[in-house]
Structure 1
Amino acid sequence: MFRPISTTQRIVDLAIAGAFLLVFALVPLRDPTSLPASWAAVVLLAAALAVRRWSPGIALIGAWAGAIAQMLAFDTPAVYDAAIPAIVYACAAYGRRSVRWAALTSSLVGAGVAGVYVARSSFLTAVTGSISTLPHAAGSFGIVGALTAVTLLLAWTLGLLVATAQRSRRNRQEADAAGEQVAAEQERTRIARDMHDVVAHSLAVVIAQSDGARLLRRTDPESVDEALETIASVSRAALADVRVLLQQLRYEGTTSVQPGLGDLDALFAQFRGSGLQLEVTREPDLGALGTSTQLAAFRIVQESLTNALRHGDLTRPASVVLALTPHGLEVEVVNAIDPTSPSRPSPGGHGVIGMRERAGAVQGDLRAGPDGDTFRVRAFLPTSATAALSIVR
């Protein structure tokens, strides 16, 4: 029944109602023949003006009460009746659906009542015997009723247009807010995926080097030093990457240099240093690919080799193939599965899901799963992708 309005709106409405009351209450007070109902009509309309935006339904009831009081006082239509269109406008602009349609019905009914009220004397004369006054009564009824209907319906239509504009603005604001939420969620997803890539890769290297160092510390002490150097290097790089990701969480719009296919040599060196044998076949001119495609390819290779290091048979080499076709880049990573490994990567794992999403972000496709005693990852990344890389840029 009551809708929230600002303090400024409430003060403005009360000021308008007070000015209305001061101006138009003087008219019946100056006329000694005026009935109390005349003054009551002005008071009721002023009260309706005061609450027209706070409670349009009550304002509509107040407008009807004021009109009835005016008719009981046998007052002719006056200037203060201008409050009624303002109340009808407020009902259409700010009222609920039921109030809005009640205002429309009141406009039509009120127009008929006003026409009958103004032409009542002519109708009574025609009924009591002078039928010649009937055309005059009908004319008065038609003119007054039509003018009243046009005025009230125009006010109602303007109010409805305002309500439609307000609803449209709210919808745009909600759509903008929803878009911001989606963008934020995409950014969080991107950062979470990058965090997974960095942490999973780095920990896999650290674990492999630690296990190797523990086994070789007595027979080959120099290898222990090399393993510790690799652990330190990988840990420092991972810490730097994590700091960049955390900085992106703190400062919106922060950009960082993302890895590309030119960084694969360093990545391969890390994996080879961790004990993973690699056979790499790739085109010489991959640097011409777009940044989005290069980043997706790099992350797919990194995640695939991380899984190979964790779950693969390190006695057999893993193969990496990057081949250009007329339509895009084909990436294939194959590694032997360690039959003694307690857990193996599955097509539904978090890392595989992340790789698939990265391929899909550049309109590509990725398939991963066991193939005999090997695990095969195959991805196709089109070079003509037009979609912006929104979640893995």
Structure 2
Amino acid sequence: MRRFSLWLRGKPIIADSVLAAMLLLLEILGVGNAHNKIAYLAIGVLLPLPVALRRVYPRSMAVCTLALSMTTSLVGFLSADHPDHIALLSQGIMLYTLVAYVGRREGLWYGLGLVVNITLSITAIAESAGSDIIFTVMFFALCWTLAEFIGARHAYDTEVAARLAVADYDKERRAHDAVSAERTRIARELHDVIAHAVSVIIVQADGAKYALRSDPDAAEQALTAIASTGREALRELRRTVALLRTEHAPDQLPQHGTAGIAKVVEMMRGTGLAVELELTGELDDIAPEVSLGVHRIVQESLTNTLRHAGPHPKAWVRVRRTDSDVLIDVTDTGGLPLREPADRIKGSGLGLVGMRERVAVLGGDLDAGRHSDGAWRVRASIPLQAGPTE
């Protein structure tokens, strides 16, 4: 039943046509009391017709109803025959329609037309019709009052629908923003994993190529580092993809904290990069996003050192936790690679940009640059309560 009511609400012509048919039926039943049955039936058929389209064309149908009512009064005045047309109730129905669905101003103009019609009817009726006039006025007043109530209800429903539409739009926008942010985060993670691994592999492959004949042991060590780095990169990629496929996979999260930093440093040492590590403060109980940020900054900084800090690079990594933030300081010997073959694959230049974006998302600061002595230094500060800066 409720489903049918909702279906009917979307098709006003059907319900209004039923109402018009009921008025027409009442007119047909009353045709026997009329002296001029043909005139009565003609007017009785025409009066209900505008009701069928009252909500589709409310102004036009109201004018038609008013014109037919005045015609009925005029015919009664000329023929001295004043039959009671039950379909004249359509005047009140139209008044209700205008006030409820169009506005009070249109309803007021229509009401003035009804006053003119009532005056014409009084003129047409010679005998006293005080009770009929009182009933008519009360009927019109009831229609107006009911229209005010229904109109207020419609306005409330419209406002609620508008608010729901705005809420749905905001929900969709937030979902879109969340998806965009997640895509950015995933892209950053994949960039960090792949760029680090590929950079290490390229440097080691270049070293192995030049040491293949002169120092087979060094070449073998470089090839071992390439294989180890490739396997580690593959494991991290699999962990990242697994996180995308499941809502909660804590056992597959990358290893961060002191163990994660130590693992990165150890892997870089295996490539021939001399790294000194200094960790101060409790770094294992900080927020996962802060820990991941520290991990990636150290990883990216050491990767840049391996690529750009000369033939015998050395780096110093210091991570210190304070009461309010985590301080990262990575310094290397600076300089440029000794050999720079024409076919060497260079970095995208997005490593430093990616670090800045990551630190900015976490609400921290990052400073990177070359010192007067040629050393390259990356310093970052990440608050323990991570969040975007204003």
CA distance in 2, matches of 1:106, 1:89: 7
Matched, 1:356 2:356: yes
Tell me the residue number matched to 1:219. 214
CA distance in 2, matches of 1:90, 1:268: 76
Query: 1:381 corresponds to which letter in structure 2?
Result: I
Based on CA coordinates, which of the two structures has the bigger radius of gyration?
2
TM-score after normalising by structure 2: 0.77
Question: Pick from 204, 214, 218: which aligns with 2:199?
Answer: 204
Equivalent pair of 1:213/1:227 in contact (CA under 8 Å): yes
- Structure 1 letter corresponding to 2:267: Q
Deviations 1:97-153 (A, max 9, x none): xxxxx534322322333344335555x69xxxxxxx9x9999899867654543333
- How many residue pairs get aligned? The number is 353
Name the CA shift for 1:82/1:334 in 2 (closer, same or farther; >3 Å).
Answer: farther
Equivalent residue number for residue 67 of structure 2: 68
Aligned mates of 1:71, 1:180 — CA distance in 2: 60
* SS of residue matched to 2:368: strand
Match of 2:371 in 1: 371
180 and 273 in structure 1: CA distance in 2 versus 1, 3 angstrom threshold:
same
Distance (whole Å) between structure 2 residues aligned to residue 224 and residue 82 of structure 1: 100
Q: TM-score, normalised by structure 1?
A: 0.76
- Tell me the amino acid that sits aligned with residue 295 of structure 1: L
- Map of 1:327 onto structure 2: 324
Contact 1:88 1:155 in 2 (8 A): no
Is the CA contact 2:208–2:222 (under 8 Å) kept in the aligned structure 1?
yes
Q: Give 3-state SS (helix, strand or coil) of 1:359's partner.
A: helix
Percent sequence identity is 24
Residue type at the aligned position of 1:72: T
1:108–1:209: structure 2 CA closer, same or farther, 3 Å change rule?
A: same
How is 1:116-127 mapped onto 2 (pairs within 5 angstroms)? Answer: 116-121=116-121
CA contact (8 A) 1:312 1:337 kept: yes
Change (3 A) 1:67 1:271: farther
Partner SS, residue 367 of structure 1: strand
Counterpart amino acid of residue 46 in structure 2: A
* Match 1:307 to one of 300, 304, 310: 304
Seen in structure 2, the aligned counterparts of structure 1 residues 90 and 265 have a Cα distance that, compared at 3 Å, is: farther
Given the alignment, which residue of 40, 49, 53 partners 1:47?
53
Residue 259 of structure 1 is matched in structure 2 by 255
| Aligned amino acid, residue 360 of structure 2 | G
* Alignment-derived partner of residue 128 in structure 1: none
Relative to 1, partners in 2 of residues 1:80 and 1:121: Cα closer, same or farther, differing over 3 Å? closer
Q: Is the 8 A contact 2:332 2:375 kept in 1?
A: yes
Q: CA deviation at 1:228?
A: 2.1
Q: Secondary structure at the match of 1:289?
A: coil
User: Does the 8 Å CA contact 2:65/2:91 hold for their aligned counterparts?
Assistant: no
What is the SS of the residue equivalent to 1:287?
coil
**Is residue 92–residue 140 contact of structure 2 (8 Å, CA) maintained in 1?**
no
Deviation track 1:32-51 (CA, whole Å, cap 9, x = no partner) reads 35263442231221133xxx
- Residues 121 and 242 of structure 1: CA distance in aligned 2, closer, same or farther (over 3 Å): same
Letter in 2 for 1:318: A
CA distance in 2, matches of 1:104, 1:247: 63
Structure 1, unaligned runs of 5 or more: 1-6, 92-101, 126-132, 389-393
Match of 2:77 in 1: none
Q: What's the C-alpha RMSD, in Å, of the aligned pairs?
A: 3.7
For residues 1-393 of structure 1, the aligned pairs below 5 Å read 8-9=7-8, 12-30=11-29, 31=31, 32=37, 34=40, 36-48=42-54, 52=55, 56=56, 58-74=57-73, 78-80=88-90, 83-84=93-94, 87-88=97-98, 91=101, 102-121=102-121, 146-249=141-244, 251=245, 253=247, 255=249, 256-261=252-257, 262-283=259-280, 285-339=282-336, 349-372=349-372, 373-385=374-386, 387=387
Unaligned runs of 5+ in 2: 1-5, 32-36, 74-84
